[in-house]
Amino acid sequence: MKVAVRYYGRLKELAGRDGREVELEEAPATVGELAGRLAELDFAGPGELEGVAYSVGDELVGPDRALDDGDEVGLLPPVSGG
Amino acid sequence: MSDAGAPPAERWITSEPLDTDALVRETADEGSGALVVFCGTVRSENRGRRVEGLDYEAHEELAAKVLRELEEEVLEAFEARRCRLQHRVGELELGEASVAVVVRAAHRDEAFAAARWAIDELKERIPVWKEEHYADGGSAHLDGTPLEAE
């Protein structure tokens, strides 16, 4: 199963990239498990993802959300709009 | 999954300069005696540093949905008769509007209260990120408010 991850705001700087495709072997995988993997792949550990929220498509989701093949997952750091 | 029947995100999130006149025309309502238009604009200074411009980035699909829902909530929670919200993305210069709130209600108390609530909620809930560019050459993403899943 493959999902597309996109980073926003300062996460792009921290990761040095806009996102990545991730192949997940074991099903079911959750958003939280994916984040754990990204913390190792693109960040200096889970500390850099503190306060980060997640989206799948146009929905804000919690870490327990199960992922489907082809999902677009957003990592959303604390927001500063307005 | 995105909602196939949803109106286009550009109705709420746009890279074009915000057109408050158009929002005022769009919300025209003879039953309203009060119209509040609020804009947030790019300020030249933040925390002691001289700002030259801003970049706003959004999760556009989700941000548009949040604004659409906020407009509905404003109409339900206040005695407001019309509400439109827009946020700009991309590069903004000093003085340009980054966000617009337009509320119409029968009377001014409801209109001001609804507009005030709308901008405060918007800042907590919209997936938008601001990067400031400084006169000294640096730039920074500002600390923000963590989003909460429902």
Tell me the per-residue pLDDT of B29-75, one tens digit each, with 9 for 90 and over: 999 999 999 999 999 999 899 999 999 999 999 999 999 999 999 99
Beta bridge partners of B102: B37, B84
Cβ pairs bridging A and B (under 8 Å): 97
Does the pLDDT of residue B102 top 70, yes or no? Answer: yes
Distance from CA of B121 to the nearest CA of A (A): 10
- Give the pLDDT of residue B1: 47
**Do the chains contact at A82 and B40, CB–CB below 8 Å?**
yes
Which pLDDT does position B142 carry in this prediction? 87
Strand partners, A5: A20, A73
- Please, what is the average pLDDT of chain B? 95
pLDDT at B4: 60
Q: What does the buried/exposed string (b/e) look like for B41-70 if buried means 16 or more CB atoms within 10 Å of the residue's CB?
A: ebeeeeeeeebbbbebbbbbbbbbbbbbeb
| Min Cα–Cα distance to chain A from B16, Å | 16
For residue B124, which residues of chain A lie inside 8 Å, CB to CB? Answer: 79
Distance to chain A for B57, nearest Cα, Å: 7
Contact between chains at B128 and A74 (C-beta distance less than 8 A):
no
- Contact between residue B103 and residue B36 where contact means Cβ atoms under 8 Å apart: yes
Query: What pLDDT shows up at residue B6?
Result: 74
Cα–Cα–Cα angle for A66, B61, B27, nearest 5°? 140
For A8, the closest of B59, B99, B149 (CB atoms) is: B59
Distance between CA atoms of A50 and B48, rounded to whole angstroms?
27
A25 contacts: CB under 8 Å, gap ≥ 6: none
Any idea which of A66-70, B5-9, B112-116 has the lowest mean pLDDT?
B5-9
Are the CB atoms for B111 and B105 separated by under 8 Å? yes
pLDDT of residue B106: 98
A8-63: per-residue pLDDT in tens?
999 999 999 999 999 988 767 999 999 999 999 999 999 999 999 999 999 999 99
> Who has greater pLDDT, B149 or B105?
B105
The whole-number pLDDT of residue B59 equals 98
What pLDDT sits at residue B3? 54
- Is the reported ipTM for this assembly greater than 0.85? yes
